[in-house]
Structure 1
């Protein structure tokens, strides 16, 4: 079922906003400045939003069980992730080499512990296995890569589940895939699946009364989560300890990430309820749809490229903190570079898909046109 233009625009704007939030949050870290408060926890909340939105997006263009093609699904997912991931890893190697050469003391003090065994680190991130079980393998300074292992795990489990339903195979296959990625991914999977459920609930617009109830309940729930988070956080951490300590596996999942997922579930429900209430009165023009699509396409490059660029800028300045004006200029530069990388990512993705599919005819993708991945 084709998605409404108003929904498509909303999702594109939302995911771009989340990526900008992550970039701003990293700009506030003490590596780069000391005037603004460190907002790292806000960035983790934004990543929780990406996870929920990812479930919605993948479900929006997943074919019916009878039409599911496992080979096509996994080729599309892998090429979408790798098209920007490979570019970002190459850029990270180049930028970190520059940073460690220009400001070795500053770089080694902050990221030296993440620079050992670079070949193994890059390999783990190319394979998107950098967070399985107890691993926490950052590709040099580029710490935002941690979330990609979760995304890859969600896609693999979802694809395995649809494959089993399509072929009648045992559900032990998706369970085995989940166990491969480990408890960190498994703990976050329900929030990703909540995005799937939100899609299925709103694929047919609710009645006006139902939309009003959903809007009010979701807004009240969001306020309750925001107000009670400080009291809720210790309980969440104790719950995570109870899950992970008995199996001897460190938990990389944080209470802040879970809180972000819960908050964003409310935000997404409120958004779709509001869109349902607006109904046919919303008619975004073709230019707005195209503009929002461009913003959405820049999300993944912005998310994956901004941090090593920040490190390189910091190294050029020998670790001197940025001023407020400097931070704003850097943010504009980061966004501009993300837009510049988009065409290269598209070309690489199309080349990999053509190679993998041996130039087979590609059927039209359903759902959010051009939004076949959420972190982009």
Structure 2
């Protein structure tokens, strides 16, 4: 296993943050093109920058980032993941269920498909990160299907740190075989299949990112990152532009240095990417339900909801829990540094 301590620069993280925003924007614009305004140039939707391939790019980027996280500091990993995911995730579910109050009988989308109301099972499954395992996700926030397989990869990441490169390569090949065998690997649009398959047949994407972090800068690393995706594409499973853009950026970003100001901009876009991914769909449905018939208004509503979630949920939760964590660490440090008198209970 190759050591990769502290080998990702601030410039590279910023570039990858901007990549996350690009992928989230592809998903949002793709859903808009599929369900609201068809794209005559076939750039978004089911064409070159389709949402499915963007999600595949997210999986690779997630695996790479988590490998870096557990390599840098395993202690507190689960807490960091919980605080990064769950405040916004729960806020999305609440927002989506509130939008459902305006569509008690479901909502027909302008260019096909219907957003049905949530079942009790889909709510329970979503709250437990078991969407696509025991049920589909809450339909109004159907894009959260991808968080379930990602989350369970997070849960085993500290263990994966101990797994050899060879075993991870075998894992990639087995998962890729499942991906090529089971068709479709995921549901289309908001009608996500719920057979417990995404963890199995999309794991190769996440693991290639995880493994590439260990092997980056080597021929073997590049091969394990790129070959499975190229092979899957040649068999016609998906249009892979966002996925291949992700692979290219992950590889090339290690050689790029950018200015501090640009780092700040990229990091902000990275912060906005997760709220945009989570909130764009219910915000789009809300705008349509309230009578929006202009693309600019609907797209602005999607962006506004995402920015609001960033400033009202994500940043405050980071500040609150970060302060509490710092206070707890300081308290523990004080206790350890405090002199103990003879005969005094050190507890």
> Could you state the TM-score of these two structures normalised by the residue count of structure 1?
0.65
Q: Partners of 1:183 and 1:34 in 2: how far apart?
A: 30
Q: Offset at 1:334?
A: 2.1
Report what 2:74 is aligned to: 68
Report what 2:345 is aligned to: none
Q: 1:327 to 1:125 in 2, by over 3 A?
A: same
Say which structure is richer in helix. Answer: 1
Q: Partners of 1:123 and 1:354 in 2: how far apart?
A: 31
Deviations 1:284-343 (A, max 9, x none): 2221111111100011110010101111112122xx8x4xxx324432442243223213
Report what 1:93 is aligned to: 97
Report what 1:17 is aligned to: 22
One of 316, 321, 335 as aligned partner of 2:290:
316
Q: Offset at 1:347?
A: 2.1
> Any gaps of 5 or more consecutive residues in structure 1?
166-177, 234-254, 363-376
Q: 1:307 to 1:270 in 2, by over 3 A?
A: closer
Q: Does 1:189 align with 2:203?
A: yes
Q: Partners of 1:304 and 1:110 in 2: how far apart?
A: 19
Q: Partners of 2:289 and 2:114 in 1: how far apart?
A: 12
Report what 2:309 is aligned to: 341
Q: 1:39 to 1:151 in 2, by over 3 A?
A: same
- Would the aligned equivalents of 1:85 and 1:126 in 2 still touch at CA under 8 Å? no
Report what 2:344 is aligned to: none
Q: Partners of 2:11 and 2:55 in 1: how far apart?
A: 23
> Could you state the TM-score of these two structures normalised by the residue count of structure 2?
0.70
Q: Offset at 1:105?
A: 6.6
- Would the aligned equivalents of 2:132 and 2:197 in 1 still touch at CA under 8 Å? no
Of the two structures, which has the highest relative contact order with CA contacts closer than 8 Å and spacing of 6 or more?
1
> Any gaps of 5 or more consecutive residues in structure 2?
1-5, 164-174, 176-194, 331-347
Q: Does 1:80 align with 2:84?
A: yes
Q: Partners of 1:158 and 1:304 in 2: how far apart?
A: 23
- Would the aligned equivalents of 2:16 and 2:249 in 1 still touch at CA under 8 Å? no
> Once superposed, what is the RMSD of the aligned Cα atoms?
3.8
Q: Offset at 1:61?
A: 2.0
Q: Offset at 1:352?
A: 5.4
Q: Offset at 1:138?
A: 2.1
Report what 2:272 is aligned to: 298
One of 43, 54, 60 as aligned partner of 2:62:
54
Q: Offset at 1:15?
A: 0.7
Report 1:75-154 matches (<5 A).
Answer: 75-100=79-104, 106=108, 110-111=113-114, 114-117=116-119, 119-132=120-133, 135-154=134-153
Q: 1:116 to 1:214 in 2, by over 3 A?
A: closer
Q: 1:301 to 1:275 in 2, by over 3 A?
A: closer
Q: Offset at 1:96?
A: 2.0
Instruction: State how many pairs are aligned.
Output: 288
Q: Partners of 1:284 and 1:34 in 2: how far apart?
A: 37
